[in-house]
Amino acid sequence: MRRLTVMLLVNDLRIGGAERQLVELARGLDKTRFRAIVVTLYPGQPFEKDLCDVPGVELRSLNRSGKYDAVALLRLVSLMRRERVDVVQPFLTPATAFGLTAALIARTPVKIVTERCGVRLNTHLGNNLYRFVEDRLTRFANAAIPNSEAGAVYLRSRGISDNKIRVIYNGVAPERVQLDASRRAALRKQLGVAEESPLIGIVASLTPAKDHVTLLNAAAIVLREVPDAKFLLVGDGPLRADLERRASTLGLSGSVIFAGHQTEVAGYIGAMDLAVLSSCDHEGCSNFLLEAMGLGRPMVATDVGGNKELAGDGVGALVPPSDPKKLAEALLRVLSDREEAGRMGARGREVFRKRFTLETMVGAYEDLYAQLWEDRDRKQVRGRRQEAVGEG
């Protein structure tokens, strides 16, 4: 098989789980087999720096001027043709609609849909319209790739053919799961958390889907039993001011730490005694849960989307979403049983090493690209033979 040109398309490279996975994939591909072109609809976001000067990776932007700029589609078609793209794989909406439409016009041989959520309960009109278009364009795709079995179920519910679906879980780079004991101690001191105080933490954007309100309500219950416990919220987003007010109203100001956005989160997760994910929506394969597993942290997560595929089977505890009482009970159970917490952490690290490394994810995508390209070659050979028979 010749070296294939793979185009990975995304709205922009802001800090986010899907964006991080795209960057890690582009960086990790075997450059003797694949040339990677990363294309954004909009430029100027932080993850772009992670692709600068990476051999075998090219970064381009369509410089879309706004949501009504349809000319960006024509620029994308031109780019696909000029660079002779063999495989196009868009991430997220509306990049998926742009990528598949342009690929059809440019006659790009292999088209892959990437689904990053295991469930979408709350959507808006614009998202629903794009989803309607994307579902119809997906019939022309060679494959649809969710990052969880929950995502596969979600794709099927939207009418996507099962023979197109192949699950490829997220993968985490080695440096994101390296625990430095001195870094842990320094961070806890910096955060004002005593070594003997339990630190319960979450790494997630401060958005409705992550449901930090339920976590804060659960924190109020936990603190009645464990007054010295601390809660660490790593991440930022539009709900920060509301959540800070909620924490104050609940009397949690001295027990809840808002750490804001952090580029390197391994130290913060390593500093935690217990990782918690309170999501109520939009969960496929959580990068935070994977990193917590890799760092050997016990976990409590809501049973939403793909969370049970990570936190199930003795790796963590699962609770219903939007239920502060159940969440608090699970947190208290893990905090009260150090031996069980240790077993959870060890089991999580073991599962992570077997299934969720960056090497595993990149290898799965490389195999997928090669397989789809070979399938195309076989179809072309069969077609030529049938034409020859017909002419004969």
Confidence at residue 389, expressed as pLDDT on a 0 to 100 scale: 65
Confidence at residue 391, expressed as pLDDT on a 0 to 100 scale: 64
Q: For 177, what's the count of Cα atoms within 13 Å in the CB-facing half-sphere?
A: 24
Confidence at residue 270, expressed as pLDDT on a 0 to 100 scale: 95
CB distance 62 to 74 below 8 Å:
no
Residues 6+ apart with CB under 8 A from 136: none
Q: What dihedral do alpha carbons 296, 239, 123, 65 form, nearest 10°?
A: -110
Three state DSSP letters for 273-296: CEEEECCCCCCECCHHHHHHHHCC
Cis check for the bond before 94: say yes or no (omega within 30 of 0): yes
Residue 256 backbone phi and psi in degrees, to 5:
-115, 130
Give the three-class secondary structure for 384. helix
Structure tokens at 146: 């969710």
Give the three-class secondary structure for 207. coil
Confidence at residue 119, expressed as pLDDT on a 0 to 100 scale: 85
Strand runs labelled E in the chain: 4-10, 34-40, 57-61, 87-90, 110-115, 143-146, 199-203, 230-234, 256-260, 274-277, 299-302, 316-319
pTM comes to 0.93
pLDDT digit string (tens) for the chain, length 392 residues: 799 999 999 999 998 999 999 999 999 999 999 999 999 999 999 999 999 999 999 999 999 999 889 899 999 999 999 999 999 999 999 999 999 999 999 999 999 999 998 888 887 777 788 889 999 999 999 999 999 999 999 999 999 999 999 999 999 999 899 988 888 999 999 999 999 999 999 999 999 999 999 999 999 999 999 999 999 999 999 999 999 999 999 999 999 999 999 988 999 999 999 999 999 999 999 999 999 999 999 999 999 999 999 999 889 999 999 999 999 999 999 999 999 999 999 999 999 999 999 999 999 999 999 999 999 988 877 766 666 666 66
**Taking Cα atoms as reference points, which of 82, 139, 96, 89 lies closest to residue 111?**
89
Residues 6+ apart with CB under 8 A from 368: 112, 143, 145, 166, 168
CB distance 218 to 211 below 8 Å:
no
Confidence at residue 392, expressed as pLDDT on a 0 to 100 scale: 61
Strand partners, 231: 200, 256
Q: Which domains does the chain have, with CATH numbers?
A: 4-171+357-391 (3.40.50.2000), 174-355 (3.40.50.2000)
